Amino acid sequence: MTKWFSQLEAQIDFKNKLMIIISYLWMHLESSAMDKVTLIIFWASTILAVLLLVLVALYVLWKRKSGRKIDE
């Protein structure tokens, strides 16, 4: 049970740090002279890049779990 609580605490700590970083970036970008279209393009490209990385990681894990080589 203690292991479960420590894992939950680590996840909450990671989420809090991630939210602090995102809010800092948002305030910095919003306070600069960039217009709203540039902000939308920046965040859309950032989200798409993160989604692409997650999909590649899931694909690699799926290939490893199935026991096949990645380069097949």
The confidence score (pLDDT) of residue 31 equals 62
pLDDT of residue 72: 52
My answer on whether 12 and 42 are in the same domain is: no
| DSSP state at residue 70 | T
Domain that holds residue 63: 35-72
- pLDDT-derived band of residue 56, with 50, 70 and 90 as boundaries? very high
Same domain, 56 and 68: yes
If one compares 12 and 59, the residue with the highest pLDDT of the two is 59
Q: How many domains does the chain have?
A: 2
pLDDT at position 5: 67
1-45 residue pLDDT tens: 567 667 767 777 778 887 888 887 777 766 665 677 777 888 889
Q: How far apart are CA 36 and CA 58, in angstroms?
A: 33
Q: Which of 72, 42, 70 is nearest to 56 (CA)?
A: 70
